[in-house]
Amino acid sequence: MRIERELAGLRAATGAWRGAGQRIGLVPTMGALHDGHLALVAEARRQADVVIASIFVNPLQFAPSEDLARYPRDEAGDLAKLAAAGCDLAFLPTPAVIYPPGDSTVIDPGAAPGSPAEFWEGAARPGHFRGVATVCCKLFMMTQADVAVFGEKDWQQLQVVRRMVADLLLPVSIQGLATVREADGLAMSSRNRRLSAAERAQAALLPALLDRCGAGLAEGGAVEATLAEGRAGMTAAGFAPDYLALVEPASLRPWPEGAIGAARLLVAARLGEIRLLDNIPVLVPPRRG
């Protein structure tokens, strides 16, 4: 596996691949890789001839109060996993490569009212999606990727990136891949490494409570009442929910009471210092009773 840290080396590789007519797949990551990331690499392999994985803990998507310094890092372990997964090139830029000295341009995916970046994570973490959109746009252009694969675990991020690619007419296809879960149902996430043993055991209750709430909605329960019950259940189980919301899957707007069809149920909840995110699809039937 080739390892590149500078733009010139990356461009030499991608230029040669494109010249040979090869399709380039990209898996953008922040490292601390787990099986969920490796599933993204496998999907990129299916969709492209060559696969690039980027590892960059993007400072622009962390607020000053957030966990940038404590974000888990394991470069040697990550490179071994990527090589074993058949990745062709690992791109590990420094912040100065992504944000050249004096840089003053960002992509703001929440520029228009009602954009998918406005709600939930966008409201809880102001500026977060500006950082995500800016780095993803740069990575798409730097790697000249034909396809980029993202996990559905960060459902809103996937929709924000899709919207940005459509708005900026970028020549990259965005593919989502179903969340990979631990044996007890917890959605895989790099931040899970920071849970204590007791918190890790407790964390498995979150997907179970999410499923229970989703089942209530899929059985025709009133949306607001079912969500309120779900939040209460999470609080009783020791979580501090930021939000538990039923949304329209692409726009992320709150699901209107009485609407029917394919929705997404999103949760963000704190367990100690760690913020856990998860989501599931829900098919909302006509209201019961």
Which residues of this protein are in contact with ligand PAF, per CB under 6 A? 28-30, 58, 61, 132, 135-136, 154, 157
Shortest reach from residue 209's CB to ligand PAF, in Å: 24
163/231 with CB nearer ligand PAF: 163
Sign of CA dihedral 51, 175, 118, 217: negative
14/157 with CB nearer ligand PAF: 157
CA dihedral 159, 151, 51, 16 (to 10 degrees): 20
CA separation, residue 27 to residues 47, 56, 90, 173, 225 (Å): 12, 11, 10, 12, 39
Shortest reach from residue 57's CB to ligand PAF, in Å: 8
Q: Is 37 a catalytic residue?
A: yes
Shortest reach from residue 130's CB to ligand PAF, in Å: 12
Q: Choosing from 14, 26, 37, 159, which is the catalytic residue? A: 37
36/221 with CB nearer ligand PAF: 36
Residue 251: half-sphere exposure toward Cβ, Cα within 13 Å:
9
Sequence-separated (6 or more) residues with CB below 8 Å from residue 198: none
161/282 with CB nearer ligand PAF: 161
> Mind giving me the DSSP string for 219-259?
TT--HHHHHHHHHHHHHHTT-EEEEEEEE-TTT-PBPPTT-
Residue pair 54/142 in contact (Cβ under 8 Å)? The answer is no
Which residues are identified as catalytic?
A: 37
